[in-house]
Amino acid sequence: MTTVIHPTAVVSEQAQLGENVSIGPYCVVDKDVCIGDDSKLISHVVISGQTTLGKKNRVFPFASIGHEPQDLKYHGEASQVVIGDDNTIRENVTINPGTEGGGMLTQLGNNNLLMAYSHVAHDCVLGSDIVMANCATLAGHVSVDDGAIIGGMSAIHQFLRIGRYAMIGGMSGIVKDVPPFCLTAGGYRPGLAGLNLVGLKRQGLGLERIRLLKEVYRILLQSNDSLDQRLAEANVLAEGDDYAEHLIEFVSTSKKGLTVHRRDQS
């Protein structure tokens, strides 16, 4: 099949379109945009700036991608949005490009689902297989690792990291890093509530490995010992298990502090 552009769409002659691209009614695609093969803009989608979409992406009505970031320090620098393959970007999603203060790039991997009204701010870096539920919001410079799930109406503070396969409950206000494989209870004063057991089982982890990860979680995130003591104890226990070692590495390198276990909050 060949690329199909609806008569009401406005597509710059300088835009780069792959094979079998579908651009629906009233879409606007500016000159520096590149859209990969088999991608589809349903209708009323506006893509601007230096924005690249990979293959097989679906973008739903009233999404806005690549327009200047909502950052007062932005002064028109030629920053980018780069989006991978097989992503679903639902209604009214906004994705802003990077800034000079953050590496000039906002990036998404593959197979992500951004539900309606979710927002990806400037200089965010998202991995793959991520779900952002309705109205989930990332402030600038947020990093979200593979497989994370961010609940509806949650807001992530700038410069934070959400770990691999973490799950954040709805209506959470996250102000510190969320470790990988952890479940964050939503609502007022969100905090860790154990491991994301469903997510771990979906990754094929057996009971023994989950028990090990639980013990490492307890040592790292519930013990009152010093950080050095907790890391030393966890390292001995976790040796050779890549999931446990990844959790330890995340805790040891966190720059913004960690979301604490819910019962440990005052």
Q: List the catalytic residues.
A: 122-123, 140
Q: How many CB atoms lie within 10 A of CB 256?
A: 13
Helix axes 207-222, 242-253, angle to 10 degrees: 20
Measured CA to CA, the distance from residue 188 to residue 173 in angstroms comes to 8
Q: Give Cβ neighbours of residue 97 (< 8 Å, ≥ 6 apart).
A: 49, 50, 51, 66, 67, 68, 69, 79, 80, 81, 104, 105, 106, 122
CA distance 99 to 22: 30
Q: Do residues 81 and 57 touch, judged by C-beta distance below 8 A?
A: no
CB 51 within 8 A of CB 69: no
